[in-house]
Amino acid sequence: MAMKRKTWACLCLAALTGAIAFLSALVIAIDPFQVYRLATRYLPPIDNTTQVYANAGIVRSYDYDSAIVGTSVTENFRPSQMDKVLGGRFIKLCTSAGTAYNHALLLDLAFETHDVKRVVYGLDVYSLIAGLEETGSAVPMYLYDHNPFNDVQYWLNRSVLGAFLPRCLRAWGQTQDDSIRDSMYCWAGRDDYGLIALYNAQFTPPEEVYAADRFMQAARDNLNTHILPFIAAHPETQFDFFFPPYSAAEWSSMQGKGTLESMLALRGLCYDALSAYENVTLHDFAARGDWVLDLNNYKDTLHYGQWINDAIVEDIAEKTCAVTDRAQIDAATAQIRAWANELMAAGRWIYQGD
């Protein structure tokens, strides 16, 4: 009887081990998130819900020599257009609500696996005020490191086995083409624009106004840890940083939260840090009145339509809004403050927008 129990236990253990080995081998072979190789026999599960997983494969496995880095305001860029206007072959390395640390994780792998000639980086002030090791959402760090053994968390991941592996099998035979570079993470065409953008706006005075240096140290730490080292280590790479064109209602909303001056102060900090490097061009679209005062360009106070992304690319190429000195930044900052003050005084939106 004891021998039968021992035999049964050994058979169960062998079956369990075999099942684990089979499932692991299946995930490695199909590789839903392209961590080991580019998908050639199925459409990979790349969308806004899989971003932190899919990015680990995109940054490693796709063919590119240039990258667009940033938060959700960079997701509507079209790499195919950037190729034509700026030269090179672009890929999106975007993280919705991403922090400077999120972006650094991707840049680390990009420079390690590719010869990167150009980086277009959306300098979102919100991404600069997070903690040094803070991410916008939980990141599967085992897919971003160099330890092959902890990949077991990928091989035996419940969501991978239960949802994404079947999704790949259902898409078997539907091979991806080059258009995936434009479509990945793109949310263009899904929303309405105009006065509806004000649903998250704030035009009432704050209960408390925070000091102008409230976020200064956090931003300085993020610059020194997650941005400047890449610039210094890769003088052969052209870095085009840009301040995104939030609507004027976004700056008014910051004022309503008491954070306007502390956020505006980061603009000068970034200029002072970045202007020291010859391989950096800083572009400032934050005070583009023709964009930021027209709500027809916005789905909310922060996010603009794809036509603005296209125009940003053209402007980067022509250096229309390239910053050449600190006075230029300060003048634009003063204009942003003036718009926010006007909106706060009126208590409503007073500019363009249907």
Q: Evaluate whether 340 touches 252 at the Cβ level (below 8 Å).
A: yes
36 Ramachandran zone, left/alpha/beta (phi>0; psi -120 to 50): alpha
Question: pLDDT tens per residue, the chain (354 residues)?
Answer: 555 667 766 666 666 667 677 777 888 889 999 999 999 999 999 988 899 999 999 999 999 999 999 999 999 999 999 999 999 999 999 999 999 999 999 999 999 999 999 999 999 999 999 999 999 989 999 999 988 889 989 988 888 888 898 999 898 989 899 999 999 999 999 999 999 999 999 999 999 999 999 999 999 999 999 999 999 999 999 999 999 999 999 999 999 999 999 999 999 999 999 999 999 999 999 999 999 999 999 999 999 999 999 999 999 999 999 999 999 999 999 999 999 999 999 999 999 876
The residues near 80 (Cβ < 8 Å, ≥ 6 apart) are 178, 179, 181, 182
Helix (H) or strand (E) holding 242: strand 238-243
Q: What is the pLDDT of residues 322-348, one digit of tens each?
A: 999 999 999 999 999 999 999 999 999
pLDDT digits (tens, 9 = 90+) for 155-174: 888 888 888 989 998 989 89
Q: Where are the domains positioned within the chain?
A: 1-122+131-187, 190-354
Q: Which residue, 265, 299, 270, is CA-closest to 283?
A: 270
- Note the pTM of the prediction, 2 decimals: 0.94
First to last CA, the chain: 83
Helical residues (DSSP H) of the chain, grouped into ranges: 2-30, 51-61, 79-86, 100-113, 152-155, 158-159, 165-170, 180-183, 216-222, 228-233, 248-256, 260-274, 289-292, 306-318, 326-346
Which of 342, 185, 188, 211 is closest to 264 using CA atoms? 211
Cα–Cα distance, 137 to 271 (Å, whole number): 28
Q: Among 99, 34, 113, which Cα is nearest to 69's?
A: 99
Q: How many residues does the chain have?
A: 354
